[in-house]
């Protein structure tokens, strides 16, 4: 039984509504696509990331095939935005930051040796680079992608074990529902700790969908780039 097969977006939506948990923050500073406490992703670096991705993606037909496969198999809709490389890259980079914070809070360490082993077990560097391109980032982020995956897997396994989930558990079993809630609470706690602020030109990070939402244009209110619902 694996939490990877469970639609966590639905659980996030329920918990956001039931707990009224939101990510708080004010407007971002000029030149920033996103800020996380003391860290930031600049608009210039994000634009360059999108340019680098486009160059590599266009030369790798397998990346496009993988991307289409991911979108076709996505439960509840894919977070990949094919029409906006910068937004798509930002979504992935935000996800890295969130799982880094989860690792910090849960005392999870992923070593370079573990990353190397996962790359080898997944078919090698070329295959990993193709997957990284498929989700919207240039290949220089391949190791970050693997590290983030290993953090999620480690946290999931610990939660499943603590909740008493077994191979006989079904998706509606009390222990599985308990594990789902624990997993999402950990995710939301990390977001809150980051005090994440997103430049509204890239949309708002919607906690209920765990991704950047549509860009909204408004002249009548201050945009923070964040929402809890």
Cα(26)–Cα(223) distance, integer angstroms: 8
In the numeric block, the tokens 């910068």 are attached to: 86
Contact 192, 169 (CB under 8 A): no
The residues, ordered by sequence, that sit 6+ positions from 227 with a Cβ below 8 Å of its Cβ are 22, 204, 205, 206, 207, 213
As for how many domains the chain has, the answer is: 1
Each residue's pLDDT tens digit, 171-189: 788 988 888 888 888 988 9
In the three-class reduction of DSSP (H, G, I as helix; E, B as strand; rest coil), residue 216 is classed as: coil
With a cut of 50, say whether residue 43 has pLDDT above it. yes
Contact 3, 159 (CB under 8 A): yes
**Can you state the angle between helices 174-194 and 8-19, rounded to 10 degrees?**
70
Q: Which domain holds residue 163?
A: 3-227
Each residue's pLDDT tens digit, 150-159: 999 899 889 9
| Burial classification of residue 29, based on how many CB atoms lie within 10 Å of its CB (0-12 exposed, 13-18 middle, 19 or more buried) | exposed
Structure confidence at residue 175 (pLDDT): 87
With a cut of 80, say whether residue 23 has pLDDT above it. no
Please give the residue that has the higher pLDDT: either 225 or 142. Answer: 142
């Amino acid at each position: 039984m694996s939490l990877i097969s469970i639609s966590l977006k639905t659980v996030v939506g329920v918990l956001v509504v039931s707990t009224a948990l939101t990510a708080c923050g004010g407007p971002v500073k000029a030149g920033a696509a996103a800020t996380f406490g003391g860290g930031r992703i600049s608009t210039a670096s994000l634009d360059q990331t999108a340019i680098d991705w486009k160059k590599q993606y266009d030369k790798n037909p397998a990346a496009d095939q993988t991307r289409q496969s991911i979108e076709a198999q996505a439960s509840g809709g894919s977070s990949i935005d094919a029409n906006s490389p910068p937004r798509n890259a930002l979504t992935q980079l935000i996800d890295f930051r969130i799982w880094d914070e989860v690792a910090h809070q849960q005392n999870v360490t992923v070593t370079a040796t573990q990353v190397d082993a996962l790359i080898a077990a997944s078919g090698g560097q070329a295959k990993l680079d193709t997957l990284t391109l498929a989700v919207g980032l240039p290949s220089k982020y391949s190791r970050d992608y693997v590290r983030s995956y290993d953090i999620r897997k480690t946290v999931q396994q610990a939660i499943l074990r603590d909740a008493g989930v077994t191979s006989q558990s079904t998706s509606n079993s009390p222990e599985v529902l308990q594990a789902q809630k624990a997993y999402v609470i950990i995710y939301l706690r990390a977001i809150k700790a980051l005090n994440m602020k997103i430049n509204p030109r890239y949309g708002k990070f919607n906690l209920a969908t765990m991704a950047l939402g549509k860009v909204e244009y408004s002249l009548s209110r201050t945009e923070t780039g964040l929402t809890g619902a």
